[in-house]
Amino acid sequence: MANALVVVAQGIEEMETVIIYDLLIRAGIEVTLASVTGRQVEASRGLKMVANVDLNQVIDEAFDIIICPGGLPGAEYLRDNALLKNLLINQHNQQKWLAAICASPAVVLAHHGILDNSQATGYPSSEEQIPNYIDEDVVVDGHVITSKGPGTAMVFALKIIQLLMGEVQAKEVAATALIKM
Amino acid sequence: MANALVVVAQGIEEMETVIIYDLLIRAGIEVTLASVTGRQVEASRGLKMVANVDLNQVIDEAFDIIICPGGLPGAEYLRDNALLKNLLINQHNQQKWLAAICASPAVVLAHHGILDNSQATGYPSSEEQIPNYIDEDVVVDGHVITSKGPGTAMVFALKIIQLLMGEVQAKEVAATALIKM
């Protein structure tokens, strides 16, 4: 069974977080929502969500993918967490899946040098902070998957499902959730 | 300022709930997330969310719109709550905005007779429980707005914004959230 770590914080974008969480669970992926700012977080528009764990509880576990939703100041809290920085860099060095959307490709991945040699996308206003910016809804380069924002969160999640679980599973999830691909 | 009541329960669809909540907040609408099963709810795929209030705290307030997200058994908890039934029927009798998506047009609104004289849509499997089913992503008939499911939740929320706040505001929210209309 594939497993995913979705990292959250105060000020994370709630719509992106929940779209990713929900669709991956529908695909049969084991999803752990881990917070770097305490179990209950108040997301970017005020929604209160409760994470499954604090990040420090899962730093010794292996995840097939680590996913950073966007939102501000959420992405900055992700960027500034030393445990998460180590997890992301280890995952990157092992060439295992990493994904980020909206503010996080620039604020988290590019900040840690993870996008130095990858094509990537992100929220349009972050174009100059992303070394090799591509203007597409979802960009996959090697083991790094990036996307633009709330409106592309569904196709981003479906791309992750396709890469981890296969095309058939991605299409089935899209059909059941009535998402046009 | 426009205000919206979004009702939730154990087993509510988290993606629909949060997409509606997030986009309406972005549009400047005051959103109250009210639960009929206790402040903290575990949504249909396991996400824990904390409502702003218990429904009984706001039954004397007037809302420009009452919105029922879908998900099972969430929609059934909404259907079986007597306070919510009264709120929905009062809103309907005053011809004020009512909206439902996914399982809720059939399970909640049709069950209470609110769709007897309206065209409406809902999750495709609920077609036979909706008296005048229309196969469209979003249907507006009089003061009743209905939609199909997770994949149509963004256009559903944008339609609500358009009706409450105007076309310009809806387009601005869509543009900022990178949603193609």
Domain definitions of chain A by residue range = 3-176
* Residue ranges of B 49-88 with Cβ closer than 8 A to chain A: 49-50
Predicted pLDDT at B181: 79
User: Nearest CA of chain B to the CA of A17: how many Å?
Assistant: 9
Question: What is this model's ipTM?
Answer: 0.98
Cα within 13 Å of Cα(A89), Cβ side: 10
Partner-chain contact B26 A48, CB within 8 Å: no
Predicted pLDDT at A123: 98
Residue A123, both tokens? 């929220």
Q: Are A154 and B157 in contact (CB under 8 A)?
A: no
Residue B68 designated active-site:
no
With contacts defined as CB-CB under 8 Å, which chain A residues touch B177? 15, 149-151
User: Nearest CA of chain B to the CA of A77: how many Å?
Assistant: 20
Residues A104-120: tens digit of each pLDDT: 999 999 999 999 999 99
With contacts defined as CB-CB under 8 Å, which chain B residues touch A150? 22, 154, 177-179
Position of tokens 């259907």? Answer: B79
Q: Which chain A residue's Cα is nearest to B53?
A: A48
Query: What is the band of A181 on the pLDDT scale with cuts at 50, 70, 90?
Result: confident
Residue B32 burial (CB count, 10 A): 18
| Residues in chain B where the model's pLDDT stays below 70 | none
With contacts defined as CB-CB under 8 Å, which chain B residues touch A149? 177-178
Position of tokens 């203007």? Answer: A135
Predicted pLDDT at B79: 98
Residues A46-88: tens digit of each pLDDT: 999 999 999 999 999 999 999 999 999 999 999 999 999 999 9
Helix (H, G, I), strand (E, B) or coil at A156: helix
Sheet with B48-50, strands from edge to edge, namely: A40-42, A48-50, B48-50, B40-42
**B3-176: which CATH architecture?**
3-Layer(aba) Sandwich (3.40)
Predicted pLDDT at A166: 98
Instruction: From the candidates A2, A20, A100, A102, give the one annotated as an active-site residue.
Output: A102
